[in-house]
Amino acid sequence: MDMKILVVGGGGREHAITRALSCNSNVKIFSVMARRNPGIARLAERVLLEKEVNISKISRFATECGVDGAIVGPEAPLEAGIVDTLEEAGVPCVGPTRMAARLETDKSFCRQMMERHGIAGCPRYRVFHDAGAARRFIEEYEGDLAVKPVGLTGGKGVRIMGEHVDRAGAIAYVERLGGDVVLEERLDGEEFTLQAFVDGRNLVPMPLVQDHKRAYEGDTGPNTGGMGSYSMPDHMLPFVSRSEYDAALQIMKDAVAAMRAHGTPYRGILYGQFMNTREGPKVVEFNARFGDPEAMNVLPLLESDFVDVLYHIVEGDLSASDVRFAEKATVCKYLAPEGYPEAPVSGQPLTIGDCGDALLYYANIEERNGTLYTLNSRTLAFVGVGDTLEEAEEIAERAASSVTGRVFHRSDIGTRELLERRCQHMKEIL
């Protein structure tokens, strides 16, 4: 029997979601995206080009198409309450309600929830609503702080003292933000991503992934939405021990239990961004969705039927036996327009050469008369899947290098050298 599924969003992450769904030949995809992603459009039965926060239009489209369910890629429609509206219209969703999505959309809610429920891994933090008070706190604080706007910023709103700004710069930033900020102790360590399927009560983890926030090689340059990421065949990372992994997983489970106890059960994909520190894993943030790029690492490894997994999430009876991932390494490399993120050159043509065995995911790109053009954000990504990290890296790197045009990528992502640097850094802080 045919299943009609609505996918909300039009980036690389949603292309990965769409492709994973379309492995099931009984699925018909309906897509809502602000711009036509050529990869998603090719797999979709029908496309609505609409802003992803325009919930009433999306809900009408869903009803008109008679979809059986929906999965929401990005955070903005979750914050706008798309799940509440679709479910009122009788469309079951994989994604949290507006209240449950506050785990991501309201950083003060997230920290206060962790504190109230005694969840481990919460950095020392203070919430401010007043620039003067925040300024005094920064002036008097010994050591470095992370300055975070309370709301969503597309991963680009955080300023770290000693990294992006000095003390005066942190104060200037707080003043520019009008004082609604969370100030946190600066954590030192290695970051990793733990994503999980959550049905409101049960949580099933996906392989660990490490993303690369900085724009340029060697982790230099401004923060981006993420330039690429990798995962290992054993689903672990060499700088995360088994007990650190268990601690991170327990934090995620405790957060799900806390949301349930709070009367806002969490259903959907839960994304934990952790910093592995000397004191074990600390929560940098939770996201209420798949990571972008991290979705492109894990979804190609999913051996179970994705539609079946989503069905169990909606039914609330998800168990670990429903979810199986291949024991392979993945490396994802994003191409971005020259000048990204600060001054991206858009409207530039690009040509893809021989991409070998790499998987291609379109992101912020435009196709006109058979030619691809850059826009303002990350353009497209290649994913290599292999028995070893080296193999996966080589596949992704060769494909990324085959592209000609005014784009760049990080050739160091997924290389042994970078991995060894990470392990070395972890040894140094312990």
Which positions lie near ligand GLY, rule CB under 6 A? 155, 211, 226, 287, 291-292, 294
Q: Which of residues 264-293 bind ligand AMP (CB under 6 A)?
A: 273, 284-285
Q: How far is the CB of 225 from ligand GLY (least distance, A)?
A: 6
CA-closest candidate to residue 156, choices 375, 377, 413: 377
Q: How far is the CB of 31 from ligand GLY (least distance, A)?
A: 20
CA-closest candidate to residue 148, choices 113, 110, 119: 110
Q: Which does 226 bind (CB under 5 to 8 A by kind): ligand AMP, ligand GLY, none?
A: ligand GLY
**Using CA of residue 19, residue 21, residue 23, residue 29, what is the dihedral sign?**
negative
Nearer to ligand GLY, 73 or 189 (CB): 73
Q: Which does 294 bind (CB under 5 to 8 A by kind): ligand GLY, ligand AMP, none?
A: ligand GLY
Q: How far is the CB of 181 from ligand AMP (least distance, A)?
A: 12
Nearer to ligand AMP, 164 or 201 (CB): 164
- Our finding on whether 160 is near ligand AMP (CB under 6 A) is yes
- Our finding on whether 194 is near ligand AMP (CB under 6 A) is no
Nearer to ligand AMP, 218 or 316 (CB): 218
Among 158, 196, 400, 419, binds ligand AMP (CB under 6 A): 158
Q: Token pair 């992934």 is at which residue? A: 209
Q: Which does 160 bind (CB under 5 to 8 A by kind): ligand AMP, ligand GLY, none?
A: ligand AMP
Q: How far is the CB of 291 from ligand GLY (least distance, A)?
A: 4
- H or E element: which one contains 222? strand 220-223
CA-closest candidate to residue 198, choices 249, 270, 257: 270
Structural tokens at position 379:
């353009």
Structural tokens at position 143:
């050591």
- Our finding on whether 165 is near ligand AMP (CB under 6 A) is no
CA-closest candidate to residue 192, choices 237, 233, 155: 237
Nearer to ligand GLY, 98 or 289 (CB): 289
In whole angstroms, what separates CA 269 from the centre of its chain?
10
> What single-letter DSSP state applies at residue 213?
-
Q: Which does 106 bind (CB under 5 to 8 A by kind): ligand GLY, ligand AMP, none?
A: none
Q: How far is the CB of 2 from ligand AMP (least distance, A)?
A: 39
Structural tokens at position 290:
């798949």
Q: How far is the CB of 13 from ligand GLY (least distance, A)?
A: 7
- Per DSSP, the residues of 227-251 read SEEEE-TTSS-TTS-HHHHHHHHHH
Q: Which does 291 bind (CB under 5 to 8 A by kind): ligand GLY, ligand AMP, none?
A: ligand GLY
Structural tokens at position 385:
């899947």
Q: Token pair 């028995």 is at which residue? A: 387
Among 28, 46, 117, 186, binds ligand AMP (CB under 6 A): 186
Q: How far is the CB of 175 from ligand GLY (least distance, A)?
A: 26
State the Cα–Cα distance between residues 298 and 294, nearest whole angstrom: 7
State the Cα–Cα distance between residues 129 and 183, nearest whole angstrom: 11
The answer to whether the bond into 205 is cis (omega within 30° of 0) is no
Q: How far is the CB of 237 from ligand GLY (least distance, A)?
A: 15
Q: Which does 104 bind (CB under 5 to 8 A by kind): ligand GLY, ligand AMP, none?
A: none
Q: How far is the CB of 132 from ligand GLY (least distance, A)?
A: 31
Q: What is the 3-state secondary structure (H, E, C) of 174-196?
A: HHHCCCEEEEEECCCCEEEEEEE
- Our finding on whether 122 is near ligand AMP (CB under 6 A) is no
Q: Which does 187 bind (CB under 5 to 8 A by kind): ligand GLY, ligand AMP, none?
A: ligand AMP
Q: Which does 184 bind (CB under 5 to 8 A by kind): ligand GLY, ligand AMP, none?
A: ligand AMP
CA-closest candidate to residue 190, choices 272, 122, 278, 275: 275
- Our finding on whether 191 is near ligand AMP (CB under 6 A) is yes
- Our finding on whether 195 is near ligand AMP (CB under 6 A) is no
- Our finding on whether 207 is near ligand AMP (CB under 6 A) is no
State the Cα–Cα distance between residues 377 and 300, nearest whole angstrom: 23
State the Cα–Cα distance between residues 354 and 219, nearest whole angstrom: 28
Strands 93-94 and 69-72: parallel
Nearer to ligand AMP, 72 or 146 (CB): 146
Structural tokens at position 18:
């769409």
Laid out side by side, the sheet with 365-368 consists of 365-368, 371-374, 349-351, 404-405
Residues that bind ligand AMP (CB under 6 A): 123, 146, 148, 155, 158, 160, 184, 186-187, 191, 213, 273, 284-285
